[in-house]
């Protein structure tokens, strides 16, 4: 469970988010909201990448601020617009994430072939298209044994087949490993995942439940 307590995030003096109290139990969450409403800000806060006021607590007892290493080892974050060094290969990035997240190599081959990365995984990232880069960063977000996987705008730049594959991948991970997800998007919730998702939205600077 992720719990927000008196959570607030401002940039300079501009208040972006204010969440007095909100709990996310296990599951797959679709985080809705138009451009600029604060979805990335919320995910970056949970990922421990930016400072905020108040508390974010995992599983009732792991406070992000007082226990950041334990918290962050259980949370992975796939960014909306990945930027990896041009001179490394996809395989190099996977090794870096595997080491950092203490992931198991045996899962990697499956993930590479499932998401169709096989043909370019040894190519330099500087030669990747934006869709290839997105697939690599999504794969890296699945490495390790995190309880929560945060995917920021995962569907943008993916072709239709890859969107379907990613959804299958999310459902499979939840079923097999009990992984929980927060998937942000300013687009419509894909039909294939509708029945498996709880929908939340940022409205009036706070989090609310929404009908799917």
Residue 206 CA to residue 7 CA, distance in Å, equals 10
Q: Using the rule CB under 6 A, which residue among 36, 68, 85, 126 binds ligand ATP?
A: 36
Indicate which single residue of 38, 78, 82, 103 sits in contact with ligand ATP (rule: CB under 6 A).
38
Q: Contacts with ligand ATP in 87-116 (CB under 6 A)?
A: none
Nearest to ligand ATP of 41, 180 (CB atom): 41
Of residues 186 through 205, those in contact with ligand ATP by CB under 6 A are: 186
**CA–CA gap between residue 22 and residue 6 (Å, rounded):** 9
Q: Evaluate whether 44 touches 211 at the Cβ level (below 8 Å).
A: no
Using CB under 6 A, which of the segments 28-36, 83-91, 128-136, 175-183 binds ligand ATP?
28-36
Q: Among 37, 46, 136, 140, indicate the residue that binds ligand ATP (CB under 6 A).
A: 37
Angle, helices 90-101 vs 105-114, to 10°: value is 140
* Cβ closest to ligand ATP, residue 11 vs residue 110: 11
Q: Hey, which bits of 35-188 come out as E strands?
A: 53-58, 62-63, 75-78, 148-152, 180-185
Rounded Cα distance between 5 and 77, Å, is 21
The residue from 28, 29, 32, 39 that contacts ligand ATP (CB under 6 A) is 39
Residues 49 to 88 in contact with ligand ATP, rule: CB under 6 A: 80
Candidates 34-42, 56-64, 89-97, 173-181: pick the segment binding ligand ATP (CB under 6 A): 34-42
- Burial (CB count within 10 angstroms: exposed 0-12, middle 13-18, buried 19+), residue 175: exposed
The residue ranges that bind ligand ATP (CB under 6 A) are: 11, 16, 33, 35-41, 80, 186
């Amino acid at each position: 469970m992720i719990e927000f307590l008196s959570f607030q995030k401002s940039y300079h003096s501009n208040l972006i988010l204010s969440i007095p109290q909100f709990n996310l139990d296990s599951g797959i969450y679709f985080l809705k909201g138009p451009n600029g409403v604060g979805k990335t800000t919320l995910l970056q806060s949970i990922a421990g990448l930016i400072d905020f006021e108040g508390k974010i607590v995992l599983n009732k007892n792991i406070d992000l601020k007082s226990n950041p290493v334990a918290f962050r080892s259980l949370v992975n974050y796939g960014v909306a617009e990945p930027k990896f060094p041009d001179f490394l290969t996809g395989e190099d990035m996977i090794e870096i994430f595997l080491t950092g997240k203490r992931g198991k190599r045996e899962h990697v081959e499956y993930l590479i072939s499932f998401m169709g990365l096989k043909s370019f995984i040894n190519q330099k990232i500087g030669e990747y298209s934006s869709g290839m880069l997105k697939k690599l960063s999504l794969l890296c977000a699945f490495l390790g044994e995190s309880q929560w996987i945060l995917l920021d705008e995962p569907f943008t730049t993916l072709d239709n087949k890859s969107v379907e594959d990613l959804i299958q991948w999310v459902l499979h991970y939840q079923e097999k490993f009990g992984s929980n997800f927060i998937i942000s998007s300013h687009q419509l919730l894909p039909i294939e995942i509708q029945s498996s998702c709880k929908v939340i939205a940022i409205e009036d600077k706070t989090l609310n439940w929404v009908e799917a």
